[in-house]
Amino acid sequence: MIKKVMCLLVLSTLILTSCGYNKSAENTPVEKQEFHMGTIITEKVYGAQAQIAADEAMKRIKQIEDLMTINVPGSEIGRLNEEAGKNEVKLSEESIYVIETSKKFAELSDGSFDVTVGPLVKTWGIFTEHPRVPSKEEIKSLLSLVGYKDLSIDSKKLTAKLARPRQIADLGGIAKGYAGDAAIEVYKDYGINSAFINLGGNVVVLGGKPDGSPWKIGVQNPRAENGKYVGILSVKDKAVVSSGDYERYFEKDGVRYHHIIDPKTGYPSNSDLIGTTIVADKSIEADALSTATFILGLDKGMKLIESLDGVDAVFISKDKKVYVTKGLKDVFAFNDESGEYQYVEKR
């Protein structure tokens, strides 16, 4: 019997720590929470037009979900999948941008991030009420459908096509990142200077707190059931996105199967990492990189991050060591409540 172990209310892999500022009327935030994109989304927005900005940001996220989900009939990506192996599909500029970005990070990660992993994700069913372990024969058959180079784009015509029947593009590993960036643009349109939004572990902050100090974001302890953290990031105008084997998973015969599928093996990633946290200017980039580096593992993941400008990372290994890239030296405070982890500033 398969036992599904999944947090229904606390989906975030990051913990927003205490703000610690004056609760004056001027600094009282508008707080909003809704369920979109398969997760709980929370906002905290400050400013004269905070209420309308928060409302419009949620509407914007819902628009993106309607375009890019594969779980709602009639979505753009749903139509792309329906026409796999047959026809080009007309898409919005937004969908084209997200697909182009996904292919960029597929190339950078040597295919470790690949949105055409959809057939495998669907078969494992980890995001459903009935997850299962596919047979080796099923895995082998579905691996033949995975390949980001089969997803072609014509940016001038705004069309895309999957080369072969039964292929599935699944933007679940990057669409929330794009939605986080879009929410920040909405805040800016309404003159907001201080806000944060958390899309189930994809945290994006605008500016700092109202008093000018940075936002404090806790990095989850991957082995703590009660959401404790191993360190705190102090950031302004950044996206902080985590991936790990603890977010969504199920157990069968004493084995844990998590949701991050390695496109090369067809199984949940089995690298030497149990958690990754990416800090970047763009949420869409951090989203893709958090998945890519988790699958690549510590050595290759560190090398990839260090090759990119304006991107840093916290890597947590299976042997409970916490590695931090040099750009986070002054903004990451190691604070392991469990006493089980060892801090390593940089490899």
| 46 within 8 A of 194, measured Cβ to Cβ | yes
Contacts for 219 with CB less than 8 Å, ≥ 6 apart = 14, 229, 230, 231, 232, 233, 242, 275, 277, 314, 316, 332
- Tell the CATH topology of 66-173: T-fold (1.10.3980)
Burial of 97 (0-12, 13-18, 19+ CB in 10 A): middle
Q: How far apart are CA 346 and CA 183, in angstroms?
A: 33
Structure tokens at 77: 């990506």
Q: Which of 251, 250, 231, 256 is nearest to 242 (CA)?
A: 231
Question: What local confidence, expressed as pLDDT, does residue 131 receive?
Answer: 85
- The per-residue pLDDT for range 110-120, each reduced to its tens digit, is 999 999 999 99
At 71 the pLDDT is: 80
Superfamily of domain 3-61+193-344 in CATH is ApbE-like domains (3.10.520.10)
**Residues in the chain where the model's pLDDT stays below 50:** 1-23, 25
- From-to residues of CATH 3.10.520.10 in the chain: 3-61+193-344
Number of H helices, E strands in the chain: 8, 19
- Return the pLDDT at 246: 77
How far is C-alpha 110 from the geometric centre of its chain's CA atoms?
19
pLDDT of residue 14: 44
CATH 1.10.3980.10 domain span(s) along the chain? 66-173
pLDDT at residue 73, as a whole number: 76
What is the per-residue pLDDT for 4? 37
Contact 311, 285 (CB under 8 A): yes
Rg of the chain in Å (alpha carbons)? 20
pLDDT computed for residue 251 by the predictor: 78
Please check whether residue 249 is in contact with residue 124, taking contact to mean a CB–CB distance below 8 angstroms: no
Rounded to a whole number of angstroms, the distance between the first and last alpha carbons of the chain is: 42
Cα torsion 317, 321, 327, 328: sign: positive
Give the integer Cα–Cα distance in Å for 70 and 145: 17
Q: Burial letters for 196-231: b for 16+ Cβ neighbours within 10 Å, e otherwise? A: bbbbbbbbbbbbbbbeeebbbbbbbbbbeeeeebbb
Report the predicted TM-score, pTM, of the whole model to 2 decimal places. 0.90
What is residue 17's predicted lDDT score, i.e. its pLDDT?
43
